[in-house]
Amino acid sequence: MEEQFFVRPFVTLIVAMTSCLLQATTIVPFANLGTLADGSDALVMARVIKVYEHSEDDQVFFRFRLVVEESIKGSLEKGDQFDVQKWEKLTDD
């Protein structure tokens, strides 16, 4: 069973980072789920098998391990596992 980590099968975001102190990001959503699927590298039906926290440099990231139940698009196959990391994190602040 091949493991693939940090696959973002459903969302592709383009974020422009600038070096100024004030930063803003605008995220334009897809018009519909069909457009989202067309623009994705992978599309799967998956089941969460583990929810855990990962510590790195005094930060805690929330992760979810999923197993593919059905592969609709992309290189992931039934039984493959992958992790998704939530954009939210805990810090020591």
- Domain regions of the chain by residue span: 3-91
User: pLDDT tier at 80 (50, 70, 90 boundaries)?
Assistant: very high
Torsion of CA 71, 73, 76, 81, to 10 degrees: -60
Mean pLDDT estimate for the chain = 76
Measure CA 25 to chain center. Answer: 18
Q: Is the pLDDT of residue 72 over 80?
A: yes
pTM above 0.85, yes or no: no
Is the Cβ–Cβ distance between 12 and 40 less than 8 Å?
yes
Question: Each residue of 3-48: pLDDT tens digit?
Answer: 444 444 333 333 333 344 455 677 788 899 899 889 889 999 999 9
Instruction: Look up residue 28 and give its DSSP letter.
Output: P
Average pLDDT of the residues in 83-93: 75
